[in-house]
């Protein structure tokens, strides 16, 4: 929306693009503003997950990781056990426990 003629150049573009913006630019800013709360909560979640993974690796370094005589489980692979347990537990929770609540 144009308030006065002095805000437009002779070619029809805005003299000051920060003062005038199109509807598409407004909608893009609104979309970005809607994503910011999701992004902020994802950062907090990611920080918690990274801390948990770091703790698990340090705990695994202190444990006995031998399987048999010649095989040692790498400490960093303990994170896979958490992923597997979540992969198994979430469908059980969603399909079996939630319907009874």
Cα-only R_g, the chain? 27
Whether the CB-CB separation of 75 and 61 falls below 8 Å is answered with yes
Q: Report the Cα 55 to chain-centroid distance in Å.
A: 21
Q: How confident is the model at residue 53 (pLDDT cuts 50, 70, 90)?
A: confident
pLDDT at 99: 92
How many whole angstroms separate alpha carbon 84 and alpha carbon 87?
5
Is residue 59 predicted with pLDDT exceeding 70? yes
Q: How confident is the model at residue 23 (pLDDT cuts 50, 70, 90)?
A: confident
Is residue 96 predicted with pLDDT exceeding 80? yes
Token pair, residue 9, equals 């150049």
């444990």: which residue's tokens? 63
Specify the higher pLDDT residue, 25 or 35: 35
């Amino acid at each position: 929306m144009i308030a006065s003629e002095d805000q437009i150049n002779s070619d029809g573009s805005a003299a000051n693009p920060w003062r005038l913006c199109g509807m598409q630019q407004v909608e893009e800013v609104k979309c970005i503003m809607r994503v910011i709360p999701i992004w902020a909560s994802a950062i907090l979640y990611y920080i918690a997950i990274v801390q948990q993974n770091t703790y698990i690796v340090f705990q695994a370094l202190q444990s006995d990781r031998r399987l048999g005589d010649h095989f040692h489980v790498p400490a960093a692979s303990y994170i896979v056990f958490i992923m597997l347990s979540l992969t198994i537990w979430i469908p059980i929770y969603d399909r079996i426990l939630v319907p009874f609540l």
